[in-house]
Structure 1
């Protein structure tokens, strides 16, 4: 675990066979927000770290960008330990979660909507996740300028606690068909992201990016 940016804590797991690092994040404000759960195995390791970092505070929200094992595979386990936490996701993701018996207190958000979480302002952006082009969500925390890029902007390699310098416009222009296969939807997403002005990219994989 490392404090990666202001009050943003990063939890990481490196998988050597695929040379890829998986990150989860805790925005530790007066209404703490967890971004992604990791797989069930990653969540088992994450839970004691979360409890230690929260230090008695209640976990308020769990943001899920899209339905995939490293984004929400450990959700049911984490909810057993943090019973007051509410998942936040798209309508499509909520339907998938319901198929696994997770139906209570899910907060469904649409692109353009916001959620005020204490002193955080969370804004949601449309994201067609690459597996099935299901409607997911990207997240930006407006007051701190933190953009959570999910699978959009990432690099291979071991990257726990790593931060590199980058350029927002270059990162947006480098979004490829590997991340969003539909060319029209990819262009639409890039045009939406170009209007943002984040200060920091909290990546799902690889080093974070200071802008």
Structure 2
């Protein structure tokens, strides 16, 4: 488990029947941040790997882009092992987490807001996520220029630590109505993404992108 980009670590699993890889990420700094939990089954595999990378350092934050099993299904299990970790999510996601009894002490962020620590600056972007177009969040870490794309940048196949060369405008143009089913909201999201100019895209599924 080496870092995939700077101090960003990737944890991956692959499900052959659907030919799809699932990734979670740890941004290892003074206040370590986990991006997504995976499902309960994926979290069971993730936790010992996560502890090995942390080497005794406490997990500070768990970012959840939207309410779906591979984004937050393992949250309750992770919180048993890291009880002081704070989930970061949108207001809608926080409602769902509380309603299902998964968590009730979230840090709720709105699009355009930031969370700043000594060695990272997190900025949150509006994400009308499938299936119900619930208001979720996308995340860019501004110091490293890492964009966490959730389900927006999506490729099938087995990918574990894989990085390909990419073009940011092409990825934005490729966002489809399968991913954001309302044309107006899709266009608004694409317009917002143009100005981000990341150097690395940490994807939810498939190979990561170096830009």
Alignment TM-score, normalising by the size of structure 2: 0.98
> Displacement, 1:104?
3.4
Look up the match of 2:149: 149
Alignment TM-score, normalising by the size of structure 1: 0.98
Equivalent residues in 2 for 1:1-211 (5 A)? 1-211=1-211
> Displacement, 1:118?
2.9
Aligned residues: 211
2:154 match: secondary structure: coil
Aligned partners of 1:2 and 1:105: how far apart in 2?
31
Checking the alignment, whether the CA contact within 8 Å between 2:79 and 2:85 is kept in structure 1 is yes
Aligned partners of 1:59 and 1:159: how far apart in 2?
25
2:9 match: secondary structure: strand
Aligned partners of 1:2 and 1:40: how far apart in 2?
23
Aligned partners of 2:8 and 2:44: how far apart in 1?
20
1:100-148, Cα deviation, whole Å (9 max, x unpaired): 2134320000000000133100000000111111000000000000000
Checking the alignment, whether the CA contact within 8 Å between 1:36 and 1:70 is kept in structure 2 is yes
Gap regions ≥5 residues in structure 2: none
Gap regions ≥5 residues in structure 1: none
Checking the alignment, whether the CA contact within 8 Å between 1:60 and 1:86 is kept in structure 2 is yes
- 4+ residue stretches of structure 1 with deviation over 3 A? none
Aligned partners of 2:161 and 2:92: how far apart in 1?
32
RMSD: 0.8
